[in-house]
Amino acid sequence: MTAPVFLVEPQALDGAPAAVTVTGPEGRHAVSVRRLTPGEEIVLTDGTGRGAYGVVAAVSGKDVLEVEVREHRTEPEPAVRITVVQALPKGDRGELAVETMTEAGIDAVVPWSAARCVTQWRGERGAKALAKWRSTAREAAKQARRLRFPSVAEPMTTRQVAGLLSGAAFAGVLHEEGSAALATAALPESGDIVLVVGPEGGVSPEEIAAFAAAGAAPYRLGPTVLRTSTAGVAAGSVLLARTGRWG
């Protein structure tokens, strides 16, 4: 069985310790839900690229797990970082988008309140939705056995997204009318790639113009039109393969 991954505070892995105690929600999940027992393999990570591989040494109560660490690993920051600006989809499709992009290996997700979004995050509802996206990313990263978890930013306006695009090494917008194919675009060997995925109603002409002014050209994926909840993982997979991240 594949060793499960649990998230710990960064200070827990400082100094490459020989033993780590897991408590709180992660400890409770390990002890009371997964019912791990001494001798079982386990992976701990701080979500920023550091991992501790070992075995369960002891279990106490309902939420305390003692781990004997046998190996420490560090996953370096990728030379090319991939950020997907995800327009807010309807219902739970946003969580699906975050989950699949995290599993694929996307580095950052930026929620975007596009003009044609049916869903808008406001007040308490918006805070809950953002928390759900972040929780989804965290759990998907653990499931995918990532040591470096993706970030989920605060939601951005179109102007803020344009600012993000202007500072990228490569910036693009997925658009069915794009004349260039993402699969053949010239990509950088280092720096940030930022790709915009529009809402169900599409990216408005005004948004296309604003992003073009920021240096982001429109690109197409292929002959079919994908849902906003699946376009990000499809495009991200193309970029991950072409930049050597999947090599």
Per residue in 148-203, pLDDT (tens digit) is 999 999 999 999 999 999 999 999 999 887 779 999 999 999 999 999 999 988 99
Domain parsing of the chain, residue ranges: 5-74, 80-243
Confidence of residue 214 (pLDDT cuts 50, 70, 90): very high
**How large is the average pLDDT for residues 51-77?**
96
Q: What is the CA radius of gyration of the chain?
A: 20
No. of H helices and E strands in the chain?
6, 12
Go through 139-159 and write b for each residue having 16 or more CB atoms within 10 A of its CB, e for each that does not: ebbbeeebbbbbebbebbebe
Please tell me the pTM assigned to this model. 0.94
Mean pLDDT for the chain overall: 95
pLDDT at 47: 97
Contact 189, 169 (CB under 8 A): no
pLDDT at 3: 93
How far apart are alpha carbons 76 and 60 in whole angstroms?
34
Q: Which of 43, 60, 56 is nearest to 8 (CA)?
A: 43
Over residues 117-147, the pLDDT tens digits come to: 988 898 998 999 999 999 999 999 999 999 9
pLDDT at 177: 77
pLDDT at 142: 97
pLDDT at 1: 65
Over residues 5-50, the pLDDT tens digits come to: 999 999 999 999 999 999 999 999 999 999 999 999 999 999 999 9
DSSP state letters, 230-243: HHHHHHHHHHHHHT
pLDDT at 21: 97
**DSSP 8-state code for residue 61:** T
> Is the pLDDT assigned to residue 54 strictly greater than 90?
yes
**How large is the average pLDDT for residues 204-216?**
96
* Chain centre distance of CA 213: 27
CA distances from 234 to 33, 186, 220, 222, 226 (A): 33, 18, 11, 10, 9
The CATH code that applies to domain 80-243 is 3.40.1280.10
Q: What are phi and psi of 19, to 5 degrees?
A: -145, 145
pLDDT at 156: 96
* Three-class SS state of 148: strand
CA angle 116, 212, 166 (to 5 degrees): 105
Q: Which residue has the tokens 């505070």?
A: 9
pLDDT at 176: 81
Q: Which of 171, 173, 158 is nearest to 218 (CA)?
A: 173
Contact 101, 236 (CB under 8 A): yes
Confidence of residue 225 (pLDDT cuts 50, 70, 90): confident
DSSP state letters, 168-198: -SEEEEE-TT-SEEGGGS---SSEEEEEEE-
Choose which CATH entry (3.30.1360.30, 2.40.240.20, 1.10.150.530, 1.10.10.10) describes domain 5-74. Answer: 2.40.240.20
